[in-house]
Structure 1
């Protein structure tokens, strides 16, 4: 597997080794030892799957306290997946990085604890999978406004479909210190 560091410390793009022939393909989508050797030494406790139509934008979500790290991938279709650093005192606080994930390219994206996460569907539909390092805790969930101008994410979508919760996301500048995780080098 190939691991690519992003400009945001801890966020990694993973290109698993895929073995294919005329019958299909095989790949490891998680191997604790191999990922730990690549710097992703976490234990996952929850697995989620979502299906979405074109232009559906989910996010930007993060939990604090009880932050979640996520290993995400797309089983079918294509999405632009985005992480935003929301860790107080981080040198990249408020910065974002993104990667196109698809059933075809089979890339994975590791978003560690302390980052907001979201994606927009680029294909007609997409099946999105993610492993989480902590259980979902709705009382700890926060929604960062998907189009916060101070962050400036290029979603490649002019009119995204948003949930009511995501329409009510907040600007990063409105979060108090008590609502944000702390950067620890």
Structure 2
């Protein structure tokens, strides 16, 4: 019996993972990751890095971050405290959903995760104060491959649920998409 329910988002390979919680009067147990069970959802590489973030203020946006090939990474993003609006943006060259995004609310209460495939940008907005996220990555961070797109790019038209109250200086410098952008070639 699987401890995970996988829901399609309408963008190939971008999936919502819901975890079964086994609980009683003491609380619950939830399996955060199982390579064997998540293989059917598309997780096919070993975990290379695990990151933990804390976002202090509601309305803060982090993103839209990605790494250029050959350092493109798959991520599994989970909210451990608070609630966030988590966004995956398709950047794959040749994809019929290039520059389309999907979002899902991740919270400590709902136990959902977002499985973000290689070739996607990722970002989120804190819906509550004091949000903590746990990220599983298939590729370690590579400074030379780091990139991002503006979270407020009108061409992307990401519908953030709250006014954006805070972004990092680095995220504010991310460019907007130009007409020359053809996507990330994951075979390079």
Give the alignment's TM-score, normalised by structure 1: 0.93
**Stretches of structure 1 lacking an aligned partner (at least 5 in a row):** none
In the alignment of these two chains, the number of paired residues is 182
Deviation of the 1:122 alpha carbon = 0.3
The separation in 2 between residues aligned to 1:151 and 1:105, in whole angstroms, is: 27
RMSD: 1.5
Change (3 A) 1:67 1:175: farther
The separation in 1 between residues aligned to 2:81 and 2:114, in whole angstroms, is: 15
Q: What's the secondary structure of 1:172's corresponding residue?
A: coil
Please name the residue that 2:185 is paired with.
Answer: 182
**Stretches of structure 2 lacking an aligned partner (at least 5 in a row):** none
Query: Which has the larger displacement, 94-103 or 38-47?
Result: 38-47
Change (3 A) 1:174 1:63: farther
Q: Which of 57, 76, 79 is equivalent to 2:61?
A: 57
Deviation of the 1:128 alpha carbon = 0.6
Please name the residue that 2:115 is paired with.
Answer: 110
Q: Once superposed, which parts of structure 1, at least 4 consecutive aligned residues long, lie more than 6 Å away?
A: none
Cα contact 2:74–2:118 (8 A) shared by 1: yes
Cα contact 2:15–2:41 (8 A) shared by 1: no
